[in-house]
C-alpha cells in the first residue's frame, strides 16, 4: 500500500516542481498579442482582439544594426521584448543584442524574471556571475566567437570585451519582460538617494566617498 501511494506521489511532486520552476505563465491560446492601449493591469499585458492582430505584431527589424557604444560603460543593449514585439506576450521568451566597444563592459546586473543564455557573434568576452549569499562564488569564462554561456535567473552577472575591436553578443531570456537591475545604478542612483550613511556602513567606506559616487549617477 505504501509503495502504491509513493508511486502516485512522485508524479505529483514532479508536476509541482515544474510549476514552481516555471518563469512566465504558459499561454492558454495560440497567441495573446499585447494591447499597449489597455488600462487594465494584469500580470503581463491584456490580450489584443485577435481579429485586429496582424503579422506586424510578431515582427521586429533592426538587430543587424550596431548599437551606439559611446556610453560611460562602453556598451549598448538593444532589447527585443514584449514592448518591441507585442506578440511575445505570454510566450515566456525575449532576446537582446549587446554591442561592446573595445574594453567596454555590460556592468554587473541581474534579470529578476529570467535566465539568460548568451552567444558571442563577434569578438572576445570575459563573462561571469556570482552565486547568492553566503558563498558568493564567482564563475568566469573567456568566450570567443560562437561560444555560449548561461547566467542563472536572478544572479548578478557581467560581460567585458577584452579584445581590441568591437564585440557583439546575442542574449536570449526566459521571459517576455525579464527586467534588469544594474547594481551600480540601483544602489548609487536611486530616486531619492539611499542615505549615504547606510551605504557607507554597507561598503565600509567614508560617507564622502559614497556622496562622490552618487553624484555620478
Report percent pLDDT > 70 for the chain.
89
Q: Which residues are annotated as a binding site?
A: 106, 109, 111, 116, 157
Name the more confident of 17 and 53: 53
Residue 63 — very low, low, confident or very high, per pLDDT cuts 50/70/90?
A: very high
Q: Which residues are annotated as a binding site for oxalate?
A: 106, 111, 116
Dump pLDDT digits (tens) for 135-147: 999 999 999 999 9
pLDDT at 43: 84
Dump pLDDT digits (tens) for 144-189: 999 999 999 999 999 999 999 999 999 999 999 999 999 999 999 9
Strand 138-143 vs strand 167-173: parallel, antiparallel, or unpaired?
unpaired
pLDDT at 129: 98
pTM of this prediction? 0.84
pLDDT at 46: 93
pLDDT at 30: 84
Q: Which residues are annotated as a binding site for Mn(2+)?
A: 109, 111, 116, 157
Per-position b or e across 91-120, b if 16+ CB within 10 A of its CB: bbbbbbbbbbbeebbbbbbbbebbbbebbb
> CA angle at residue 193 from 191 to 196, to 5 degrees?
170
Question: Residues with Cβ < 8 Å from 40, sequence gap 6 or more?
Answer: 46
Question: Residues with Cβ < 8 Å from 189, sequence gap 6 or more?
Answer: 214, 217
pLDDT surpassing 80 at residue 23: no
Name the more confident of 43 and 109: 109
Amino acid at each position: 500500500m505504501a509503495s502504491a501511494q509513493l508511486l502516485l506521489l512522485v508524479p505529483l511532486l514532479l508536476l509541482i516542481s515544474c510549476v514552481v520552476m516555471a518563469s512566465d505563465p504558459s499561454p492558454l491560446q495560440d497567441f495573446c498579442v499585447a494591447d499597449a492601449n489597455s488600462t487594465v493591469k494584469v500580470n503581463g499585458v491584456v490580450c489584443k482582439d485577435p481579429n485586429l492582430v496582424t503579422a506586424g505584431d510578431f515582427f521586429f527589424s533592426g538587430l543587424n544594426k550596431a548599437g551606439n557604444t559611446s556610453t560611460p560603460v562602453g556598451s549598448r543593449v538593444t532589447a527585443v521584448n514584449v514592448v518591441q514585439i507585442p506578440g511575445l506576450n505570454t510566450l515566456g521568451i525575449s532576446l537582446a543584442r549587446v554591442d561592446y566597444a573595445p574594453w567596454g563592459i555590460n556592468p554587473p546586473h541581474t534579470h529578476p524574471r529570467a535566465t539568460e543564455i548568451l552567444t558571442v557573434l563577434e569578438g572576445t568576452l570575459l563573462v561571469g556571475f556570482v552565486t547568492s549569499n553566503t558563498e558568493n562564488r564567482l564563475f568566469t569564462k573567456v568566450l570567443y566567437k560562437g561560444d555560449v554561456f548561461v547566467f542563472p535567473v536572478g544572479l548578478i552577472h557581467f560581460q567585458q570585451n577584452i579584445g581590441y575591436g568591437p564585440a557583439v553578443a546575442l542574449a536570449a531570456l526566459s521571459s517576455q519582460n525579464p527586467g534588469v537591475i544594474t547594481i551600480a545604478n540601483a544602489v548609487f542612483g536611486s530616486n531619492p538617494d539611499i542615505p549615504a550613511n547606510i551605504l557607507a556602513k554597507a561598503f565600509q567606506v567614508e560617507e564622502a566617498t559614497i556622496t562622490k559616487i552618487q553624484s555620478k549617477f
